[in-house]
Structure formats: structure tokens, C-alpha cells
Amino acid sequence: MALTPVKGKDVGLAVQKMVAAALKYVLVGCLTDSTFDVDTETDEATCIASGVFKEFIGGQSGWTMGGTLNVRQATNDVSGPGLTDADDNVTAENFLDMQLAGTTVQIRYQIGGAKGSAWYSGLAIITKSSFKGQLKGVATYAISLQGTGPLTKTLAP
């Protein structure tokens, strides 16, 4: 079995939203980087018989996701039958609105773009929105999401 390298452009965040009266995952466009971290707590379980090395047992796990994207404005230009680009895109402005509304979002991290690629999804709270505008270049937006509850792994069809 051959191992195929995964390009950075095939890794990223998708958010579940209503598109044309159906819930769909929409890839967050213009991502310049993305992160997906899973942490597991450990508890020390050392006893006298352990000798000179500490022993640990695994505890609870938690996860975070985030990324930086170039800021784009979604207008109401038609992007498909019955859709506008504001319908079928997720922008920095959408994320900020969700955060201010206290919305818990269904998020998915996609590792690869081919059939059988791993997708990890779960509910998350937007914990930080950070806009950066500079004199030269495109404005950027960084987002941090704290997972709440379990992750579910599925494979891309």
C-alpha cells in the first residue's frame, strides 16, 4: 500500500450551516493555516515499587481547532442555482457573528481531500476572534475554537 503525502491545501476546517434548506458542511475558504490539537490529561500513579521512574495513567481528553484566513467579504452575487456566495461560504464576519451570539458550532477538521480521508467532527465554542489589518497585504483573521464533548471520526466518501 502506498502512502500519499497530504498537501496543506487539502487540510482544513469546515463548518456545518444551512444551505438551500439543508444542513451541509461548508469548507472555510481562504485558510492560510489551520490547527487541530488533541490533549490527554495524565495522572501520576507512581508507587514505591515503581523504582526511579514515574508512572502515569491517562485521563480525560480535550480538543481545540483554529486557523488563520485571509479576510474576504461574501456578497450576494449568485454562486449557484438559488444560492449566493454569502450562502455557500463561511467568512471571518460569519465567525464573529456566531461568537457574539454565543453559538455553539458543529465543526469538522478534514485531513486530506481524497476518498477515505479522515474527518474529525464535533461541537465547538468560538473562544477567540482576532482581526489584523496592515498597510500592505490582505487583512487576516485568526480563530480559536474549544471543543465541547467528543470527536467523531468519519471517512470522506
Give me the percent of the chain exceeding a pLDDT of 90. Answer: 48
**The three cell numbers locating residue 117:** 480521508
What's the pLDDT band for 133 if we cut at 50, 70, 90? very high
pLDDT at res. 76: 65
- Report which of 40, 32, 98 is spatially closest to residue 66, judged by C-alpha positions: 32
Which tens digits make up the pLDDT trace of 41-88? 999 988 877 778 889 999 999 999 999 988 877 766 666 666 655 666
More confident residue, 24 or 39: 39
Q: What are phi and psi of 49, to 5 degrees?
A: -70, -10
More confident residue, 152 or 21: 152
pLDDT at res. 37: 96
Please tell me what DSSP assigns to residue 8. G
In sequence order, the 6+-apart residues with CB closer than 8 A to the CB of 122 are 63, 106, 107, 147, 148, 149, 150, 151, 152
pLDDT at res. 86: 62
pLDDT at res. 117: 92
In sequence order, the 6+-apart residues with CB closer than 8 A to the CB of 32 are 67, 68, 69, 70, 140
Q: What is the pTM of this model?
A: 0.83
Cβ-in-10-Å burial (0-12, 13-18, 19+) of 37 comes to exposed
